[in-house]
Amino acid sequence: MENLYLERIVSDIWTGYIVATDRGLCYVSHVTTNLQDVVDFQVKHYPNSKLISNAKEIEPYRDQFYEYLNGDRATFDFPIDISGTPFQKEVWEALYTIPYGETASYLEIAEKIGRDHKSSQAVGGAVGSNPLCIVCPCHRVVGTDGKLTGYSGGIDVKIDLLNHEIEHGTKFIENR
């Protein structure tokens, strides 16, 4: 039986759950009222696993999340353990190229992976199924017109994350 390590992250910018396997971070949840989405994820992707709370194994992930939320980290460098279709993985990889504090449209992501405007809706579906929100920065994706679009944590959380990055972005400019 595989272990899934779980911890709740609490800050004034974002609150949610992070989940990791022995191989890396596998899920980030915005839901804080219960663990139903974590359990749904577990049943679908790791059916022969058990959730373990407050384990030492989750510390590196927790520490980097708090560094990000405190404005001291722009990217994450821990291992990840995700599964998805080849198309989803291609889209998720493109999300990592959106600079901290900046945004890109679904169309720009489609073009980045060699697709045309007809793929924007499929890109939106892949962005929406990203299991590693914040880490794989889907909050940086906006509509083609620049307007904020849906976010699994809600538009208010998306706004908070983007404003947080804009506020702290000057620290990281020289690292680009």
Identify which of 172, 156, 168, 171 has the alpha carbon closest to the alpha carbon of residue 15.
Answer: 156
pTM attached to this predicted model: 0.90
pLDDT grade for 171, boundaries at 50, 70 and 90:
low
pLDDT digits (tens, 9 = 90+) for 92-117: 999 999 999 999 999 999 999 898 87
Same domain as 91, residue 63:
no
**Closest Cα partner for 136 from 111, 161, 159?**
161
**Is the domain of 146 the same as that of 116?**
yes
Which pLDDT tens digit goes with each residue over 53-91? 978 999 999 999 999 999 999 999 999 999 899 999 999
**49 or 33, greater pLDDT:** 49
State the maximum Cα–Cα separation within the chain, in Å, rounded to a whole number: 47
- How many whole angstroms from its chain centre is CA 149? 16
Q: Is residue 136 among the annotated active site residues?
A: no
Same domain, 60 and 6: yes
Work out how many domains the chain is built from and give that number: 2
Q: In one letter, which amino acid is 116?
A: D
Closest to 165 (Cα-Cα) out of 69, 43, 53, 66: 69
Domain ranges, residue 16: 2-69
The catalytically annotated residue of 26, 133, 136, 138 is 138
Looking at the fold, whether 90 and 170 belong to one and the same domain comes out as yes
Flag whether 35 is in a domain: yes
